[in-house]
Amino acid sequence: MVQDKILGVDMMLKPFRRLARFSSSSMGAKIVLIAWIVVVAVFSFVAPSSKDYSKNSTEGSVKGNTASEIAEQVLNKEFPTDNGLTALLVFHHEGKITDQDRERITELSEWFASANKPKHIASALPYHKFPKKVQDQMFSDDGTTLIFNLALKDGIDSDEANATLDAIRDKVTAIGLDDLQFEITGPAGISADTIALFKNADLVLMLATVALIFVILIIIYRSPILAITPLIIAGIVYGLVDRIIGLAGKNDWFPVDSSAVSIMLVLLFAVITDYSLFVFSRYREELRKKESKYDSMSEAMYHVSEPIFFSGGTVFLAMLTLFTTVFEPYNHFAPVFSVAVVVILLAGLTLIPSIFALMGRKAFWPFIPKFNPQHKDKESIWSKVSKLVLKRPALYAGILLIILLSGVFNATQMKFSFNLMNSFPEDISSRQGFELLADHYPAGQLAPVTVILLADKKIDVNEEFLQKVKGLKEELANQKGISSVSPDITDEVIKGNADLPPNFLADNGKAVKLQLVLKNNPYDIEALNTVEQLRDHTETFLKDNGFTKNEYQLHYAGQTAGQLDVKQMNVRDMIILFSLVTVLLTLVIGFQTKSVLMPILMMATILLSYFATLGFGWWIFKHFMGYEAISYRLPVYTFVFMVALGIDYNIMLVSRIKEKAKELPWKKAVGEGIALTGGVISSAGIILAATFAVLMTQPLQELFLFGFTMAMGILIDTFLIRAILLPSLLILTHKK
């Protein structure tokens, strides 16, 4: 066995190599396998599944301190209500809603006000009490659509909310509104549809992932045992990870995000399969050199433990950086994936070698490797690729750089959507209801902005104060992008000859509330820019209308204000996350390679691949799929996973090149590295890309685009970056 100097990397790897060697020995392999089975069995008995405690993260910040969140806190404090999620009931008729339909809607409204209504309804619009003139104003201008507001009680769980909405649907059918299109949208409808979409989704995702990996492995290796073994190992590892996360959720150690759990499942099966490929590919080489199956595995793990350790370590570091994010969905991915990666890494160094060591040569049936130290593999396609790269590295590097840079340029043209509804299937109730409202009502009415003027003490609501409020209202109404501001502050109200508008003054007298309707769709970028302009000019609004800054504050609440904060958090998190991941992973690779130039080249090619993938993806989404904008989350999710996982294959390649460079000239070592790792890395890349592509079967557009982009990016990394670009650059930049 080739012995390295016990320095830096080797000293750090020493305990992990000992662990891997123990797992490869005759007695150790049995102990490790039994230990894993016992631990998984115990956790399965004492701990719940992660699904029992998983939930969707909100689109807020982890500290709840954004401008919109503070505004919501002020609103809830000054204008308290028992209302929880709002449901918007949408009635639509292609012609016009008839008088008979209106009578039945009145009957529904009376039911909402009766003692027979579902107990989890907090309040409903008293449509049945309004005179016909007021009712007419609630309909769309063309008379085809009616929006009906309803609030569920605060604090009810998702099952109770869904049951309530189902009861409403049943009542609508029972009173004979079958000729109307009836949809439920708004926060309550969106929440219910989200839960319905992902009911049993994890099971379907797991079955699809397992089946796909099995088929690909059978096609590539033509060995049923090699195909099924990584899946069995992944099942054991998932059993432990799932229960650890479930235990954490039960004890509130960290939040368990349902989307993170779903994507973690895909990542776990893919990475465990990749590590299995790395191990048994090298194991097969060593079985031809040694008679003992345990000695062969020990030698294989001596060489493979380093790339597995650094591969898992880079992924783990990338996941840890998610803790620095402030956007809740990003931050809540961190603990789930950090736990998963640690267990996966432990399995790569113990469980995988122990199982393959116990199976020995039989694992490769029907193509059993025989002991033959003189054996030489036939020239593979990767040997031919290595010869091409060695012959003209500058040419191939230049061609690939031009192609990839064109993708990078296209990435600068990307447009992002902050409208969650765009990610839902077109036939789902909450999206159809939202689109009906958008088509038949002024865009801004879908989600008005609530403006709260908060004083530091009880307000003296006199003529002077009301005149100032009227001036503020008029100045807000004159801003670009504003359609209207309510309520009306008439001269009669100002002079005390008429009552204040309802729900205008807080019960404690320390705040007043205005409602602002935007001209644009409240989720469009233009609407977000309008609210941003309002925030930027808040001090001016107060000063112009005689409100001193020390005594009064102006807050903007509502969905548009919330989405503006999401946009700003997303920009902040992207800058922090991209910088941290790039620097940390470059340092780790530098530590592993004991080089300055090599980690820079490796990270540069991965970043080039990432931005090119985004650009190519955007071109496909826009020109072939017809998307005008894509989810703002896509760049972050794809960056974390693509960079962390893409580095894996480069680490595997460079580790083999370093090994060969001890006995061969550098250029030839690079060629040997390509030839020896090409088969296993290409197989691993195909499997990883295929498993992420399984996410394209999920009902949300966001997951579809994420799966597509990841699959394309991994294939680019596998067949262009790892096989051609990086080796070409390593040859051109290393003269030894």
In sequence order, the β-bridge partners of residue 145 are 92
Cα separation, 213 vs 177, in Å, equals 49
* pLDDT (average), residues 627-644: 90
**Tokens coding 557:** 């609440």
Q: Is the pLDDT of residue 4 over 50?
A: no
In sequence order, the β-bridge partners of residue 340 are none
Q: Is the pLDDT of residue 2 over 50?
A: no
Residue 5 — pLDDT band, cuts 50, 70, 90?
very low
Residue 413 — pLDDT band, cuts 50, 70, 90?
very high
Percentage of residues of the chain with pLDDT beyond 70 = 97
CA neighbor of 337 nearest in space, from 317, 307, 366, 308? 317
* pLDDT (average), residues 365-377: 74
* pLDDT (average), residues 651-674: 88
Cα separation, 14 vs 50, in Å, equals 34
What tens digit of pLDDT does each residue of 203-261 get?
Answer: 788 888 889 889 998 988 888 998 999 999 999 999 999 999 999 999 999 999 988 88
Residue 44 — pLDDT band, cuts 50, 70, 90?
very high
Residue type, 573: D
In sequence order, the β-bridge partners of residue 90 are 147, 183
What tens digit of pLDDT does each residue of 79-135 get?
Answer: 988 777 888 899 999 888 988 989 999 999 999 999 888 888 988 888 889 888 888
Cα separation, 577 vs 582, in Å, equals 8
* pLDDT (average), residues 615-635: 92
The fold adopted by the segment(s) 1-60+198-376 is Multidrug efflux transporter AcrB transmembrane fold (1.20.1640)
Q: Is the pLDDT of residue 736 over 60?
A: no
Q: Where are the alpha helices (DSSP H) in 412-547?
A: 429-440, 463-477, 491-494, 525-536, 538-544
Cα separation, 662 vs 665, in Å, equals 8
CATH of the structural domain 448-557, one choice from 3.40.50.9100, 3.90.1150.10, 2.40.50.140, 3.30.70.1320? 3.30.70.1320
What tens digit of pLDDT does each residue of 256-303 get?
Answer: 998 888 888 888 998 999 899 889 888 888 888 888 898 999 988 888
Q: In 10 A of CB 429, how many CB atoms?
A: 21
In this prediction, residue 205 carries a pLDDT of: 80
In this prediction, residue 375 carries a pLDDT of: 60
Q: Is the pLDDT of residue 533 over 90?
A: yes
CA neighbor of 722 nearest in space, from 617, 649, 616, 648? 649
**Tokens coding 69:** 């969140």
In this prediction, residue 3 carries a pLDDT of: 41
Q: Which helix (H) or strand (E) holds 653?
A: helix 634-661
Q: Is the pLDDT of residue 377 over 80?
A: no
**Tokens coding 212:** 């796909």
In sequence order, the β-bridge partners of residue 416 are 630
* pLDDT (average), residues 507-521: 91
Cα separation, 701 vs 421, in Å, equals 10
Return the DSSP state at 697.
G
Residue 6 — pLDDT band, cuts 50, 70, 90?
very low
What tens digit of pLDDT does each residue of 698-723 get?
Answer: 878 888 999 999 999 999 999 999 88
In this prediction, residue 485 carries a pLDDT of: 92
* pLDDT (average), residues 193-201: 73
In this prediction, residue 695 carries a pLDDT of: 86
**Domain 1-60+198-376 and domain 448-557 have a common topology:** no
| Cβ 278 vs Cβ 648: under 8 Å | no
Structural domain boundaries in the chain? 1-60+198-376, 96-197, 383-427+570-736, 448-557
What tens digit of pLDDT does each residue of 144-159 get?
Answer: 999 888 888 887 777 7
In this prediction, residue 437 carries a pLDDT of: 86
Q: Is the pLDDT of residue 200 over 70?
A: no
Q: Is the pLDDT of residue 1 over 70?
A: no
Q: Is the pLDDT of residue 735 over 80?
A: no
CATH of the structural domain 383-427+570-736, one choice from 3.40.50.12780, 3.40.50.300, 3.90.190.10, 1.20.1640.10? 1.20.1640.10
Q: Distance of alpha carbon 661 from its chain centroid, rounded?
A: 40
Cα separation, 128 vs 102, in Å, equals 10
What tens digit of pLDDT does each residue of 304-345 get?
Answer: 888 888 888 888 999 999 999 999 999 999 999 999 999 999
Instruction: Specify the pTM.
Output: 0.87
What does pLDDT average to over the chain?
88
